[in-house]
């Protein structure tokens, strides 16, 4: 059973503008959780009766992305501002890694791959 998505009030959402964040994302029809690191460059707040879904405008750290992407509030399960450039690695190190991936990592030690 997955936990509910976070609810953002306008003050909290606007407070993330200009922050680098580590975000845990999940979608209603998908049980897989994804962790991503973004820089928040803007926010679109929901307006009842006009636009019901708020979202962050973010710049991913992928090479070649020059346009902001949308990360909808209802897909965010965890968000943490990054104040230390090593923070994403520290958080990801604490996540449980399935045994299959641990074995694969041991076999390919020293080899680097990117998704």
**pTM of the predicted model as reported, rounded to 2 decimal places:** 0.66
Strands 30-44 and 76-81: unpaired
The residue with greater pLDDT, 9 or 97, is 9
State percent of the chain over pLDDT 70: 65
69-110: pLDDT as tens digits: 999 998 998 898 887 656 555 655 655 555 444 444 444 455
Cα-based distances in Å from 96 to 38, 63, 92, 99, 100:
22, 28, 9, 9, 12
| pLDDT given for residue 43 in this prediction | 95
- pLDDT band for position 115 (cuts 50, 70, 90): very low
Q: What is the mean pLDDT of residues 41-59?
A: 91
Would you state the torsion angle of the CA atoms of residues 106, 108, 113, 115, taken in this order, to the nearest 10 degrees? -50
Q: What is the mean pLDDT of residues 25-40?
A: 86
Spatial CA neighbour of 68 closest among 29, 87, 40: 40
């Amino acid at each position: 059973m997955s936990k509910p998505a976070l609810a953002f009030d306008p003050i909290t959402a606007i407070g993330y503008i200009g922050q680098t964040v580590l975000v845990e994302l999940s979608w209603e029809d998908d049980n897989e959780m994804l962790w991503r690191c973004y820089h928040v460059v803007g926010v679109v707040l929901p307006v009842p009766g006009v636009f019901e879904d708020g979202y962050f405008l973010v710049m991913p750290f992928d090479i070649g992305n020059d346009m902001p992407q949308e990360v909808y509030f209802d897909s965010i399960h965890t968000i943490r501002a990054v104040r230390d450039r090593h923070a994403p690695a520290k958080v990801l190190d604490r996540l449980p890694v399935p045994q299959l991936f641990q074995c694969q990592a041991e076999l390919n030690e020293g080899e680097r791959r990117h998704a």
